[in-house]
Amino acid sequence: MEEQLKLLIELQEIDSFIRSIDEKIESLPRRLEQFKHPLKEVSESVQKAEAKSDVLNKKKKEKDMELDEVQDKINKLKARSSEIKTNKEYEAHIKEIEGFEKSKYKMEDDILSLMEDIENYSGYVKEKKIKVKKAEDDFKLQEKALEEEKKKLHSEMEMCKSKRGDFVAGIDEENYDQYMKLLSRMGGVAIVPTENEICLGCNTNIPPQLFNDIKKNDRIFTCYYCKRLLYFKEPVPSDKESGEAPPSS
């Protein structure tokens, strides 16, 4: 194979690999974001439960104050019982006390119900906080793993760039400029193989005579349609064509 063509093919392989590494590095924040979702979800559920618990505690505090006020009124009414002179006044007085005591019993039931709800929410919050801790630990593990992966990818990138420089040094300036323009314009693919008189870059037919010339791999040709650089790569024979039996299952 013509040396310049060979170098360009190998350069394309390196550039494609560098591109794939760059895409992986760019995907890391999105991958980390996926692990944030469970943590965010369970944290929000804890915040809602704590807010609900605060509301219940506030209601209980208000009910406790109301209960104290009613109890104080009952105590004062009972203290005045000895001052009542007539049966009619006494009956009215007793009814007033009974009315406040009914309110008291209702408040006590409400407070008991609130205490039960508060206890339930307290247990729920504790349970959710355990899940938050686990989600935080899982997130930190994933964050560390992705950071290690990022370092590894950057290391591979530097090695590839160093290797790339060695290939570029052997390529003619004109060929390299043409390659780089195509690389930028054609989505990172400047040189492609041909197969059965077809450019595998744009799937356009190649004239038979040109295809025969390309198969020699002794010159650099370009596709009439997409302008990519072309070369011929021997097809890998199938097991049937090579006479080899397929591996047994």
Task: State the average pLDDT over residues 155-163.
Answer: 95
Is the same domain home to 58 and 129? yes
47 and 138 in a common domain? yes
Give a yes or no: residue 55 inside a domain.
Answer: yes
Provide the percentage of residues in the chain whose pLDDT is more than 70: 94
pLDDT exceeds 50 at position 102: yes
Q: Quote the pLDDT of residue 156.
A: 95
Give me the CATH number covering residue 82.
1.10.287.1490
- The one-letter amino acid code at 227 reads K
Question: Can you tell me the distance from the alpha carbon of 67 to that of 108, in angstroms, rounded to the nearest whole number?
Answer: 7
> Which of the listed ranges 134-138, 176-180, 241-245 does the model predict with the highest average pLDDT?
176-180
* One domain, residues 154 and 190: no
Which tops the pLDDT comparison, 249 or 205? 205
Number of domains in the chain: 2
Q: In what order do the strands lie in the sheet with 198-199?
A: 198-199, 191-195, 229-232, 221-222
Of 26-35, 60-69, 87-96, 143-152, least confident by mean pLDDT is 87-96
Report the amino acid identity of residue 185: R
Query: Does residue 245 belong to any structural domain of this protein?
Result: no
> pTM of the predicted model, to two decimals?
0.66
- Based on the fold, state whether residues 35 and 127 are members of the same structural domain: yes
Residue 18 lies in a domain: no
- Residue partners of 31: CB distance under 8 A and separation at least 6: 146
In terms of domains, do 88 and 211 share one?
Answer: no
Last residue of a domain, one of 158, 187, 219: 158
Q: Cα torsion for 117, 120, 125, 131, to the nearest 10°? A: -150
Same domain, yes or no: 37 and 129: yes
Whether residue 247 is contained in a domain is answered as no
State yes or no: pLDDT of 37 exceeds 60: yes
- Separation CA 70–CA 140 (nearest Å): 54
- Structural domain ending residue among the three candidates 108, 128, 158: 158
DSSP state of 1: -
Q: What is the dihedral of CA 19, 23, 26, 30, to 10 degrees?
A: 180
pLDDT at 208 > cutoff 60: yes
Q: Are residues 98 and 215 in the same domain?
A: no
Identify whether 1 is part of a domain: no
pLDDT in tens, 211-231: 999 999 999 999 999 999 999
Same domain, 37 and 154: yes
Query: Which residue intervals of the chain are DSSP H helices?
Result: 3-79, 87-169, 173-185, 208-215, 239-242
For residues 96 and 185, membership in a common domain is answered with no
Whole domain around residue 146: which residue ranges? 27-158
Whether residue 198 is found in the same domain as residue 231: yes
Q: Do 42 and 108 belong to one domain? A: yes
Would residue 103 count as lying in a domain? yes
Find how far residue 92's CA is from the centre of its chain. 71
Q: Are residues 196 and 103 in the same domain?
A: no
State how far the Cα of 230 lies from the Cα of 190, in Å rounded to an integer: 9
In a domain, 86, yes or no: yes
Instruction: Quickly state the pLDDT bin for 28 (edges 50, 70, 90).
Output: very high
Residue 98 has pLDDT above 90, yes or no: no
Question: What average pLDDT is seen over the chain?
Answer: 89
69: tokens are: 């006020």
165 in any annotated domain: no
Please compute the mean of the pLDDT values over residues 34-55 and round it to a whole number. 86
